[in-house]
Amino acid sequence: MKSCSFTARWNEALLDENYQKWQRSPRSVSPDWAAFFEGFELGTTRVEKNGAPAALSDVDEQRVLQTKVDLVIHTYRTLGHSVAKLDPLLSEPLPQQDRADFALESFGLRASDLEKEVSSHLFRASKKFQLRELILVLERIYCASIGTEFMHIQDARQRNWISARLELEQEKEETAVASYLYSSILRTLYRAEAFEHFLHTNYVGHKRFSLEGAESLLVSLQALMGACEGYNIQQAVLGMTHRGRLNILANLLHKPLETIFDEFSHNVLPQTVENSGDVKYHLGYRTTWKSQAGHEVQIHLVANPSHLEAVGPVVQGKTRALQHALGNSQDKKRVLAVLIHGDAAFAAQGVVAEMFNLSQLPGYQVEGTIHVIVNNQIGFTTLPSDARSSRCCTDVAKMVEAPVFHVNGDDPLAVHAITKTALEFRQNFGKDVVVDIVCFRRHGHNEADEPTFTQPGLYKRIKSHPLLSDILLKKAEELGIIEGRKATTWKVKETERLEAAFAQSKTRADHSHSEKSGIDGSAAMTIAQSSYSHKPVQTAIGSDMLDKIMQVLTAVPGDFHVLPKVRRMLLERRQQIWQAKGPYDWGIAEALAFGSLLLEKVPVRLSGQDSQRGTFSHRHSVLHDEVTCERYIPLNHLSPYQARFCVYNSPLSEYAVLGFDYGFSLECPSMLCLWEAQFGDFANGAQIVIDQFISSSEAKWRRQSSIVMLLPASPGGISKAT
């Protein structure tokens, strides 16, 4: 809270000064002061000479009405999302009891007030409305196809930015939406639908985890990539699970259709001891996406296992490494992290909360991640009422005050618009943002599953629900934007394109796949047995380098006030080295190893719980001034030409942190990347990353990692080693 606000320490002179200003002109003071004085005057009962309450003047009545109007605006901004028309399977309006917070009586308003002219400094201050008109505008903004949760954000700049963006956008008439946008989105939907229908027809019974019912995801991602040009975003790292992955590979990343069809009959990698391969909906890919104006975005889709949400921190670590390679902090937003989630996993998997916790930490933040949720309102056979205690699947995002844009998946124009708004927020504030596409799943969990066993009523509604392309085409025809015959031509062309690729895949003699088709495009090492050599490598360093490193490690600047115990430890280390009294303890040996690498221009990143000091006070890689509390890292003062040493205290998390560091190592194979478990058995908390990525990625995806795991002690830290 600002020090000059009315809630600050009482200042009678300041209060009187602002009150007089407000009486002359309500807009001459801040909104906080104005609201305070309005409430103060309303609470002051005026009486006639005979003791009866005085009638309100016209000015006072207008102030009373204005206060109520401000409450209406605040309520729509705060709660509008709860009554928004988000579910494509619900055609009936909400019953009145569910909209009790929006009834006129709840604001102290009467039906006669609807015809009165009002204005508000909270909402388009320069414009006057009839109250009826104002409410209709607020309904369109906050209770239609988009429901926005943002009033939980404490930063007023961010709240004001979102409200201004939503409210100004609504001023544009629907017919002002360019016809090319309707055409572009409709053709995108035809591609998505034709792809799924073709697979369903030609590969009966095969698992593909269809995107049907959630085709707006492709619209969202197309909008996201298209908007990258305005911010000079050059790389995007994507993580997603199985739902719709093949469709995204085909229609966003443009993986050759022949290759996808071929993978329905063959594993992407040879079935050998060295390479077990993986199912087609786990594979990564890399491509260059090009806009109509020629702007290029390199997209990395990261390979992932079946474990839901496990790929999230890997994507963020990979993004951080790509940002690190850019150097200049101003350029970091040119690399974008995008995570596509399912609603059930987003609400239930603990690693999601761990990821959000990492999102603003110095060693792990990536300038904001775009989270897109395919909210098909079911997890396999489990409904939300059995799957989560929160009202929305997105509530976990509120822990970092991320804005949440809920949007009806049956309104692809709204999906397109709000995705662009989400990216704009990320670019402005460097924070995570969530786009929750409320949709449905047209088939079972997979195409061989029978969903009516558990949700017969739901799937009766789904069966009769029209295709999304038909919904949009009907709207476009009503507006006179697109003719049905032209749309039919587009639809036929998509089918012909698929049939041609299918025929081509049948005639190919060579079913091998390029490296590009089976990996995520990381810079990390790929399997190359022919280039491997068993020739011994010289790893020793000279005594001169050793002396130089130790001299820096055991000294501090003259004006740095080091703690006496730490100073004593540094002196003991110096004596041990210079007097050649071995064996050296772990802390000394590790510091010398790090220092030698840094002088050879090999950067080092160390991440883990209490890693800066070391759990057993064995490292002290970061020294603290006992007077000024400033920090000093000796390993970054070896030479002007050395590589950088980065050491981070991680949060009390293993799963997400190791996933992040693994992802970082994929893009920085020449860097020594270390993750340290506080105790050896703490690695159990990251077992999914160890099993599904570190130990198996080479066999599944031909992907090697340079990650080093430090497991310093036995369970509980009770051992001779400690």
229-282 pLDDT, tens digit each: 999 999 999 999 999 999 999 999 999 999 999 888 764 444 444 566 788 888
- Name residues of the chain where pLDDT drops below 70: 1-12, 31-32, 35, 38-59, 121, 125-126, 169-177, 266-276, 508-532, 581-582, 713-722
Cα–Cα distance, 218 to 196 (Å, whole number): 13
Phi-psi category of residue 197: left, alpha or beta, with phi > 0 → left and psi -120 to 50 → alpha:
alpha
* pLDDT tens readout for residues 525-545: 444 444 667 889 888 888 889
Nearest-CA neighbor of 376 among 404, 416, 340, 339?
A: 340
Question: What are φ and ψ of residue 47, in 5° steps?
Answer: -130, 150
The number of residues in the chain equals 722
Q: What is the DSSP letter of 103?
A: S
CB burial string 80-102: b at 16+ within 10 A, e below: bbbbbbbebeeeeeeeeeeeeeb
Q: State both tokens at 156.
A: 């007023």
Q: What is the DSSP letter of 611?
A: T
Radius of gyration (C-alpha) of the chain in whole angstroms:
30
Q: State both tokens at 328.
A: 């200049």
Q: What are the strands of the beta sheet with 604-608, ordered from one edge?
A: 645-649, 604-608, 672-676, 708-710
Whether the Cβ atoms of residue 403 and residue 158 lie closer than 8 Å to each other: yes
Helix residue ranges per DSSP H, 239-365: 245-251, 257-263, 311-326, 343-348, 350-358
> Cα 309 to chain center, whole Å?
12
Question: What are φ and ψ of residue 363, in 5° steps?
Answer: -85, -5
User: Omega into 256 within 30° of 0, i.e. cis?
Assistant: no
Q: Which residues pair with 604 in a beta bridge?
A: 645, 672
Q: State both tokens at 711.
A: 């497991």
Helix residue ranges per DSSP H, 644-691: 655-667, 687-689
Q: How many CB atoms lie within 10 A of CB 550?
A: 19
Cα–Cα distance, 706 to 525 (Å, whole number): 8
The terminus-to-terminus CA distance of the chain in angstroms comes to 47
Cα–Cα distance, 674 to 609 (Å, whole number): 12
3-state secondary structure of 288: strand
Q: In sequence order, what are the residues at sequence separation of 6 or more whose Cβ sits closer than 8 angstroms to the Cβ of residue 164?
A: none
Cα–Cα distance, 77 to 141 (Å, whole number): 9
For strands 404-408 and 146-149, give the pairing: antiparallel
Angle at which helix 484-507 crosses helix 468-478, to 10 degrees, equals 150
Helix (H) or strand (E) holding 708: strand 708-710
Cα–Cα distance, 639 to 698 (Å, whole number): 37
How big, in percent rounded to 5, are the helix, strand and coil portions of the chain?
50, 10, 40
Helix (H) or strand (E) holding 499: helix 484-507
3-state secondary structure of 619: coil
Q: State both tokens at 714.
A: 């036995």
Cα–Cα distance, 605 to 661 (Å, whole number): 9
Q: State both tokens at 249.
A: 């590979």
Cα–Cα distance, 440 to 543 (Å, whole number): 67
CB burial string 326-360: b at 16+ within 10 A, e below: eeeeeebbbbbbbbbbbbbbbbbbebbebbbbbbe
Cα–Cα distance, 302 to 286 (Å, whole number): 8
Cα–Cα distance, 52 to 176 (Å, whole number): 56
Residue 236: HSE in the Cβ half-sphere, 13 Å Cα cutoff: 31
Tokens 């409904």 locate to: 383
Stated pTM of the model: 0.89
Cα–Cα distance, 535 to 265 (Å, whole number): 41
Cα–Cα distance, 96 to 99 (Å, whole number): 5
Domains of the chain: 12-146 (1.10.287.1150), 177-263+276-518 (3.40.50.970), 543-717 (3.40.50.12470)
Cα–Cα distance, 337 to 318 (Å, whole number): 9
Helix (H) or strand (E) holding 300: strand 296-301
> Cα 42 to chain center, whole Å?
45
> Cα 240 to chain center, whole Å?
12
Q: What is the DSSP letter of 635?
A: G
pLDDT of amino acid 682: 86
Whether the Cβ atoms of residue 208 and residue 199 lie closer than 8 Å to each other: yes
3-state secondary structure of 145: coil
pLDDT of amino acid 136: 94
Q: Which residues pair with 239 in a beta bridge?
A: 339
The alpha carbon torsion through 501, 507, 510, 516 (nearest 10 deg) reads: 0
Tokens 């998390």 locate to: 653
Q: What are the strands of the beta sheet with 296-301, ordered from one edge?
A: 146-149, 404-408, 433-438, 369-375, 335-342, 235-240, 296-301, 285-290
Degrees, nearest 5: CA angle 660-664-667: 150
Nearest-CA neighbor of 108 among 63, 55, 68?
A: 68
